Amino acid sequence: MGEAIIAGVISGIISSILVSCTLLLIKPRVSLSDEICMDPQKNVFQLKIVNRTRAALMDVKYTLHLCHRYKDGIIVMDPVEFCKSNVDSLPKYNKLDLDAHYAMRLAFPPKEEILTHQDDYLLFTLTAKHATTGTIAFFSQEYQIRDIMCGKFETGTSTKILVEQCSLSLVNCDMKCASK
């Protein structure tokens, strides 16, 4: 009788450990765009997020900060507001979803103070919770001035920018894209 209780407790502990390890391995997987898209027709900057998880993402929170790095090592962070309010969830990845609801483009207005100095950069952060397991993941991406390209994002899971209009950096984009 005592051996059966001990075997039950041990098997319960082992199964709990296996389930916990499995759940911890199933985390949100997200792709962030490596570049910022400057859409000259809409006159906005855009970032792209793609949910690559087979479950919805809940409690999605994201921020964008303009970071000024000074010579003495101090970094001052100013928040950048997005054009629309935050989205709380992102649907699960689905190959058959032709409208790519699992992907999201975040737009923010261009401002003169964005990346005016060589040491400035934009810092994007994202936290999301896996709808099934409840695990939370944190993602971040830094963008320099050389990471801003004219064009539009490809649809679907791709985070590449279609540079049909021009492949110029932010410095020349407003003048030359508008004339094409």
Query: Could you read off the pLDDT of 38-59 as tens digits, one per residue?
Result: 887 888 899 999 999 989 999 9
The pLDDT value given to residue 127: 95
Q: What is the pTM of this model?
A: 0.78
28-179 falls under which CATH superfamily? G protein-activated inward rectifier potassium channel 1 (2.60.40.1400)
- DSSP output for 121-141: EEEEEEEEEETTT--EEEEEE
Query: Could you read off the pLDDT of 4-13 as tens digits, one per residue?
Result: 888 888 999 9
Plot region of 172 (φ>0 → left; ψ -120 to 50 → alpha; else → beta): alpha
**Domain locations in the chain as residue ranges:** 28-179
The stretches in the chain having pLDDT less than 70 are 115, 164-180
